[in-house]
Amino acid sequence: MENRKDLFSLNGKVALVTGAAYGIGYAMAKALADAGAKIVFNCRSERHMEEALAHYKEDGIEAKGYICDVTHEDEVRAMVADIEKSIGTVDILVNNAGIIKRIPMHEMSADEFREVVDIDLNAPFIVSKAVIPGMIAKGHGKIINVCSMMSELGRETVSAYAAAKGGLKMLTKNIASEYGEYNIQCNGIGPGYIATPQTAPLRERQADGSRHPFDSFIVAKTPAGRWGDPEDLAGPAVFLASDASNFVNGHILYVDGGILAYIGKQP
């Protein structure tokens, strides 16, 4: 590294952030753009795409968007081929797209379980598989998988999500193991409880105007004493996408305000 000031620069890099129409994906994509990367993203909904492109433009970011369901390998391969043809090899992949279904396991259908695992675990395999050949040819690459506290812990009603995110932690370690020799680093980011549409049901005000019990529970369990903001993921994402992390591989970086370290405040 000639000049340490370039350690976190992403100038000249192409970053694909899946599911970056809003939420954590949007915040990470904006951070990567602010560090110099050219942003490409995807989602399934035309309405989300239109709103996202307007949001990126407002933020001064010339993002390219694709309507692509990450569980459909043919759509993913076509998207990556078009990116490589029209913009360049994908240097940075953030597997962010994900869903959750909060259903007691004994009431969850096998199809509902499969849908969560398909998006949260199978899709990161599909998208990573699509970009790795280009990264090998180019001699470098960064893959960042958005894991979760549920990569480490379980709780009621999130069996499919925890199984998927636990598997994603191990997929991260396996990609790191299999492709490290090609100068590809694969790491995970594990957000704590972040205020996005995905967690909105856990923060809804009660009929009497009081806080949702889960909202109060999370604030008490988090040393930082607050929910995370998507912006809290910006710095960790740039770190794992940049030369600053070239010898970090197979690591899950938890961005959780300390919740995984803390037994919780006495009621």
User: Could you say which of ligand GCO, ligand NAP, none residue 155 binds, taking C-beta under 5 to 8 angstroms by partner kind?
Assistant: ligand GCO
Give the angle subtended at the CA of 172 by the CAs of 170 and 183, to the nearest 5°: 140
Does position 97 bind ligand NAP by CB under 6 A? yes
Instruction: Report the C-alpha gap between 39 and 20 in whole angstroms.
Output: 10
Q: Which stretch binds ligand NAP (CB under 6 A): 84-92, 95-103, 170-178, 239-247?
A: 95-103
The answer to whether 124 contacts ligand NAP (rule: CB under 6 A) is: no
Give the relative orientation of helices 159-179 and 110-117 as an angle to the nearest 10 degrees.
30
> Choosing from 161, 179, 193, 254, which is the catalytic residue?
161
Segments of 44-140 assigned E as strands: 64-67, 92-95
For residue 161, indicate whether it is catalytic.
Answer: yes
Q: Which two tokens stand for residue 162?
A: 């925890």
Q: Which residues bind ligand GCO (CB under 6 A)?
A: 100, 102, 148-150, 155, 158, 161, 191-193, 198-199, 202
Number of residues near ligand NAP (by CB under 6 A): 29
Integer-rounded Cα radius of gyration of the chain: 18
State which residue, 97 or 184, has the beta carbon closest to ligand NAP: 97
CB 28 within 8 A of CB 20: yes
What does the block give as tokens for 237?
């994402």
> For ligand NAP, which residue of 6, 44, 82, 212 counts as binding (CB under 6 A)?
44
Residue spans of alpha helices (H) in 87-191: 110-117, 123-138, 159-179
| Contact footprint for ligand NAP (CB under 6 A) | 18-19, 21-25, 42-45, 48, 69-71, 96-99, 119, 146, 148, 191, 193-194, 196-199
Tell me which residues are annotated as active site. 161
